[in-house]
Amino acid sequence: MKRSSWLIPTIYILFLLLPIYWLVSMSFKSTNEILGSFTLWPQDFTLANYEKIFTDPTWYMGYVNSLIYVSINTVLSVAVALPAAYAFSRYRFMGDKHLFFWLLTNRMAPAAVFALPFFQLYSAVGLFDTHLAVALAHTLFNVPLAVWILEGFMSGVPKQLDETAYVDGYSFPRFFVRIFLPTIAAGIGVACFFCFMFSWVELLLGKTLTAVAAKPIAATMTRTASSSGYELGLLAAAGSLTIIPGAFVIYFVRNYIARGFALGRV
Amino acid sequence: MNKTINQKAWFFVLPVIALVAFNAIIPLMTVVNYSVQETFGDNTFFWAGVIWFEDILHSERFHDSLMRQLTFTFTILLIEIPLGVIIALAMPRKGFWVPVCLILMSLPLLIPWNVVGAMWNIFALPDIGMLGRMINSLGIDYNFTRQIGDAWFTLILMDVWHWTSLVVLLAYAGLVSIPDAYYQAAKIDGAGSWAIFRFIQLPKMKRVLTIAVLLRFMDSFNIYTEPFVLTGGGPGNSTTLLSIDLVKIALGQFDLGPAAAMSLIYFLVILLLSWVFYTLMMRDEEQ
C-alpha cells in the first residue's frame, strides 16, 4: 500500500483534469471545428473566442460584476461573523444553541425556494439589479458558514489569551483587533476562502436579482448560449476564464486549507 | 472549554441576526403567505387554507421528484464519502506534492455551477464530447440526452467529480492533525494498516467526516444548476430533482400557491434530516 499509494491521488487528479482540459482545448477551437469533427487538441488554433470576450463589454463586465459582488459579500460575511463567532466560542447565553442551529438552517435553505421572494423583497427596497443585492442575498448561506468556521478556530485559542490581555490593560476592542484577530488569521483566511467560493459559484440567486447593471458572468453565459445559437467555443472560453479567479484564491490559501481545517473545528 | 454565562454576548450576535433575519424571515413569510392563498391572476388573493399542502402531499409528481432526490443524494454520499477518505489516506503528508495536490483537487470546487454543467455537457456529448466518444468507442451505446440510465450515470459522475474534493480536503485535515506519536505507539503494538485505520485514523476523522456528510447532504439536496444545465431534467422527467421541479412550477408555470407549499415541505424535509445529523454529531461531541 505504501509504495504504490501515489497512484490513487494521481488517477483522481487526472480524472479531475480531463473535463477541464476538454473545456480549455475547446475554447481554442473555432465553432466549425467543434461541430464538424472530433479532435483531441485544436487543429487550427484560434484566439477569436477570447478576443470576443475581452472586447465586448457585455462579456467582460460580467466578470467585473461577479468580482464586485463576491468581494462585497466576502467582506460583509466575515465582518459580521467575527463578533458572533467570538460570542459563541467564549460565552454561554440565553438561547445560544438554538440560535446556532437556526443560523445553520439558513445554510440548508434551497436557493430555489428563495429565488422568487428575494426578487420581490429586493425590488421592494429598490436594490434590484445592484451588486449590493446579490452580495446581501448571498450572505444568507455564507454568514452561517463563516460563523461555523470561525467559531471552530476561536474555540481552539485558549481563553488564557483573553485574560492575560485584560490583565495587561488592553481594552476589549484593542485586544480583539491587535491580538485576537492576528491569532486566528488562518481561520479568517479559510472563512474568506469559503465565502468567496460559494458566492462565486452561485448562479440562481445572482441571475434572479440582476438584469443588466450587475449581471454576473454566469448569467451572461446562459443568455448568450440561448440567444446566439449554441456558440460552444465562446461558451468554453468564458467558462475557462471563470476558473482563473478561483485558482488564484486557492493559491493564496493553499497552506491554510489543510492546516486550517485541522486547527479549527471544520 | 468552559464558557462563562454572559447575556451581553447577545450584542455580538445582533449584526448576524439582523442580516440573516432580513434575508431569511421576510422571504420565508412571503412563501408562507402564498402557500395559503389562491389567486386568479389579477393580483387579488383569497384565503385557501391548506389545500395546496394537501395537493402537494398527494401529488404523484412530488413523490417522484422526492424519490429521485433521495436516490441521488444517498448515491452520491455512498460514493463520495468512502472515495474521499481513500484518496485522503493515500495522499502524501508532507513535502512538495502536498500543495500541488491540494490546489489541483480544489479546482472543481471553484468553478461556477453552470460552467460545471456546461463543461460536463460538452464533455459527455456522444458525438463531439471526449467522454461520450470514449464510451461509445468501447462498444457501449451511450447517449445521456436520450437514455435514462446514461443520464443518471453522467449526473452522478459529474457530482463525484465536482464534490469529492471537499470530502478529501476535510478528511485530509483530520488526518494531518493526528500526532506522530500515535503512529509510533501503533507500530510498537504491531498494528497493521487496517488496525491503524480503524482505531486511530477513523476516530480522529469522525468529526470532520460528520461535517462532510452534513455539508454534502445539504448541498446535494439543494442542487439545481448543474443538473439543470447538464440534462435540463430530462430525458422526460427522469432527472428532474426537487429544485428543478420547484423552479418549473414557481417561475415556469407561475403557480405560486402550490410552489410555495412545495417550498415549505421541501425545506422541512431538509430541516428534519439535517437536525437528525446535527443532534447525532453534537451528542458525540459532548461525550
CA-based nearest distance B169→chain A, Å: 7
Report pLDDT digits (tens) over A187-242.
888 888 889 988 988 888 888 888 877 788 877 777 655 444 567 788 888 888 88
Query: Which pLDDT belongs to residue B158?
Result: 93
For residue B230, the domain's CATH number is: 1.10.3720.10
Report pLDDT digits (tens) over A34-50.
777 777 777 778 888 88
Query: Which pLDDT belongs to residue A78?
Result: 94
| Rounded average pLDDT over A138-167 | 87
Question: Is residue B117 a part of any domain in this protein?
Answer: yes
How many folded domains does chain B comprise?
1
Question: Is residue B280 a part of any domain in this protein?
Answer: yes
Nearest by Cα to A89 from A151, A145, A153: A151
B45: phi then psi, degrees, rounded to nearest 5: -120, 145
In chain B, what residues touch A202 (CB-CB under 8 Å)? 112-113
- By residue range, what is the domain housing residue B68? 63-286
Tell me the average pLDDT of chain A. Answer: 83
Q: At what angle do helices B113-124 and B148-176 cross, to 10 degrees?
A: 130
pLDDT beneath 50: ranges in chain B: none
Report pLDDT digits (tens) over A55-114.
888 888 888 999 999 999 999 999 999 999 999 888 888 888 888 888 888 887 778 778
For each of the domains in chain A, give its residue range(s) and CATH number, in order of start.
1-46 (no CATH), 56-263 (1.10.3720.10)
Report pLDDT digits (tens) over B151-176.
899 999 999 999 999 899 888 888 88
In chain A, what residues touch B281 (CB-CB under 8 Å)? none
Query: Which pLDDT belongs to residue B150?
Result: 87
A52 shares contact with chain B (CB less than 8 Å): no
Residues 6+ away with beta carbon under 8 Å from B7: A93, A94
Which helix (H) or strand (E) segment is B37 a member of? Answer: strand B37-39
Cα–Cα distance measured from residue A208 to residue A127, given in angstroms and rounded to the nearest whole number: 12
B207 shares contact with chain A (CB less than 8 Å): yes
Question: Is residue B84 a part of any domain in this protein?
Answer: yes
Cα–Cα distance measured from residue A147 to residue B145, given in angstroms and rounded to the nearest whole number: 41
Query: Which pLDDT belongs to residue A264?
Result: 47
Q: Beta B4-5 vs B37-39: how paired, if at all?
A: unpaired
Asked whether B146 and B153 are in contact (CB, 8 A), the reply is no
Place of cell 441521488: B72
Question: Is residue B127 a part of any domain in this protein?
Answer: yes
Query: Which pLDDT belongs to residue B83?
Result: 94
Cα–Cα distance measured from residue A121 to residue A142, given in angstroms and rounded to the nearest whole number: 19
Whether A38 sits inside 8 A of B127 (CB atoms) is yes
A94 shares contact with chain B (CB less than 8 Å): yes
CA-based nearest distance A156→chain B, Å: 9
CA-based nearest distance B250→chain A, Å: 8
